[in-house]
Amino acid sequence: MLKDKCFIIAELSANHGGSIEIAEETVRAAKRAGADAIKLQTYTADTITLNVKTDDFKISQGTAWDGQYLYDLYKNASLPWEWHKRLYDLAQEEGLVCFSSPFDKTAVDFLEDLNNPIYKIASFEITDIPLISYIASKGKPIIISTGIATIEDIELAIETCEKAGNSDITILKCTSAYPATPEDANLLTIPDIQKRFKVKSGLSDHTMGIEAPMIAVALGAKVIEKHFILNKKIGGPDAHFSLDEMEFQKMVDAVRLTEKLMGKVDYTMTTKKKKSREFSRSLFITKDLKKGDQLTQENIRSVRPSFGLHPKHYENILGKRVIKNVKKGTPLSFELIKQ
């Protein structure tokens, strides 16, 4: 991941339309849009759920997927494993990091053969402690989403990684709603994650638009993940809350601008600042004075520019007398005053 700027991930997810050509062009588009990485999901319907047609396995959560059985949804959405190497190789050619979210140990073993550089734990897998332990044992950076997590879940996931000897952990604020509403974003959780758990933090964003990533970066997010689709006409289970190439590029540009605007803590007096200080306030003579005249509120003022005495001396010099004739508009100095 990047050291000095936010790591921006384009999530391919189910946005491949069942076509390797679409998946490949999506990788190229992610590069054009300014992403740092493309993320896959490595599972089959059989590795993530059971082929059971009972109500327990039927979606009824008030989502766009309601009425479908989990097995059918994941069968249609999964990225064929035989496509992975082509996509990893293409991403490398394009200068993108390619990595994945595995959903069982067989997926981890498969990804290890591809030299997968980062592992992502999806929100709903944060309670799968044996899987997290196995992933952590590979010694790669780990990113964990927290959409359904309690504080105890997050603590246990971090503890599990560290027990396996892996402390390269990034925790993502995530709202497991598709799309998520602004009211449910709660982006102030991002700096709290850093403080509370002593890890890097970021955002896995399911809101519509690009505002949340901008705010997240301003709050200290080191990773931004957003679903990415080549063209929303492709359809699919994730299309309705994904960004296309133009939208994603706008998000990247906004994030990079935010980083520039945030800058760093800086009180140094640059040459430019020194020049600009000429327009700051100082004490000037406001009326023609004769030698021996007193300085009063009527004949000295704090005005721009800064060539006179600092205004902090105002009270101390009232009542002093000038040692020579002085014209209106003369910057006040101690050399003009009888001490």
Is the bond preceding 179 in cis, omega lying within 30 degrees of 0?
A: yes
Taking 3-state DSSP, the helix, strand and coil percentages for the chain, each rounded to the nearest 5, stand at 40, 20, 40
Domain contains 297: yes
For 38-56, what is the mean pLDDT?
Answer: 95
Q: What is the DSSP letter of 332?
A: P
Give the domain extent around 322: 271-336
The CATH number for 277's domain is 3.90.1210.10
Domain contains 52: no
* Domain finish residue from 222, 244, 262: 262
Q: Indicate the range of 18-27, 73-82, 159-168, 230-239 predicted with least confidence.
A: 230-239
Please check whether residues 37 and 139 belong to one and the same domain: yes
Domain contains 176: yes
Domain contains 220: yes
Confidence grade of residue 110 (pLDDT, cut at 50, 70, 90): very high
The string of pLDDT tens digits covering residues 158-214 is: 999 999 999 999 999 999 888 899 999 999 999 999 999 999 999 999 999 899 999
Instruction: For the chain, state the CA radius of gyration.
Output: 30
Domain contains 51: no
Please check whether residues 109 and 213 belong to one and the same domain: yes
The string of pLDDT tens digits covering residues 317-333 is: 999 999 999 999 999 99
Give Dmax over CA atoms of the chain in angstroms: 103
* Average per-residue pLDDT for the chain: 95
- Between 77 and 261, name the one with better pLDDT: 261
Domain contains 154: yes
Domain contains 2: no
Structure tokens at 208: 């519509």
Please check whether residues 257 and 283 belong to one and the same domain: no
Indicate if the pLDDT at residue 338 is higher than 90: no
The CATH number for 138's domain is 3.20.20.70
- The beta strand positions in 244-294, using DSSP E, are 282-285
pLDDT given at position 59: 87
Please check whether residues 244 and 287 belong to one and the same domain: no
Please check whether residues 296 and 330 belong to one and the same domain: yes
Q: What residue has token string 């039927």?
A: 58
Indicate if the pLDDT at residue 48 is higher than 80: yes
For 13-29, what is the mean pLDDT?
Answer: 95
For 80-97, what is the mean pLDDT?
Answer: 98
As for how many domains the chain has, the answer is 2
